[in-house]
Amino acid sequence: MITIPNTQLLVHPLCLGGNVFGWSANEAESFAVLDTYVAAGGNFIDTADVYSEWKEGNVGGESEIIIGNWMKSRGNRHDLVIATKVSKLSTRPGLSASNIKAGLEDSLRRLQTDHIDLYYSHADDPSTPLEETLSAFTQEVTSGKIHYIGASQHTASRLALALEISQENSFARYVVLQDQYNLMERNPFESEQMEVLRKYGISALPFFGLARGFLTGKYRPGVKVDSIRASGVKEYENERGWKVIETLEVIAKNHNSSISAVSLAWLRSNPAVSTPIASARTVGQLKEIMQEVTLSAEEVASLNSASEVTQA
């Protein structure tokens, strides 16, 4: 277990993503994944009000409802660290004070809980003054309905500005950044955001840690993968992508582990990262991503080399 810097949140080294619950995994399948995760020592679950509005027939909040039903049936809410988000649901857009208040109440109801451990701005909202957003979060932290706040999908400059405003006004402060970071997508995290994290002493919880499934190793040259995410990895199916997979495979064999586990271990090797976020549709997938792997400096260097973007 690790403690997220500047918090009292003690969490498992893998945060379980809830984006598949109510989308590619129904309630029974989601319950099985959640039960297995907790049985293996997991305690950190990430969701959002917008999960999974994009599925036909859904309205958003499906993932939160499933997690809420599961926590109620298992009676384990106080054993868990629950993160959710506001601002991207079509019926609750943006980070105005009124929307944060309403969105939080909706999430609390769906999750069947009285507090959110980590509540994210799901995406930056330039149309709302940061002072208004951070003041609204501060009120909810003071009320006890939120314990900590995080920023998701914020540029380095906007994150830094938000942190400065919090400091100047004694507002609640973002304690983590959640954004895309993986072996196939190393920037702008490494080139821009990481420096802000260092300066202000906060950490990252990367999403898409497995690059939409590409870094599981199931995608290979000439292999057709039947997955609802398959179209999202086309940009990785090139010489660089196959080199990364080959390198991951060699390291995975050395550790007798899955390629997924090595991909996530590479993220953890970065001191700026607290814990990566990864989702699993099935118990089998979950077991692969929960394998514990510690990479040597040489293995990290080989992955850095394989994933380096060559300049034209």
Residues marked as catalytic: 51
Q: At what angle do helices 97-111 and 62-74 cross, to 10 degrees?
A: 40
Check if the beta carbon of residue 206 is closer than 8 Å to that of residue 276.
Answer: yes
Distances (CA, A) of 96 to 144, 153, 166, 190: 19, 17, 16, 30
Check if the beta carbon of residue 289 is closer than 8 Å to that of residue 210.
Answer: yes
Residues pairing with 17 in the sheet? 46, 279
Distances (CA, A) of 63 to 52, 205, 251: 7, 19, 34
Q: Tell me which amino acid residue 84 is.
A: T
Q: Tell me which amino acid residue 5 is.
A: P
Residues pairing with 146 in the sheet? 116
Cβ neighbours for 60, distance < 8 A, ≥ 6 positions apart: 49, 50, 51, 52, 53, 89, 90, 91, 92
Q: How many Cα atoms are found within 13 Å in the side-chain-facing hemisphere of 207?
A: 17
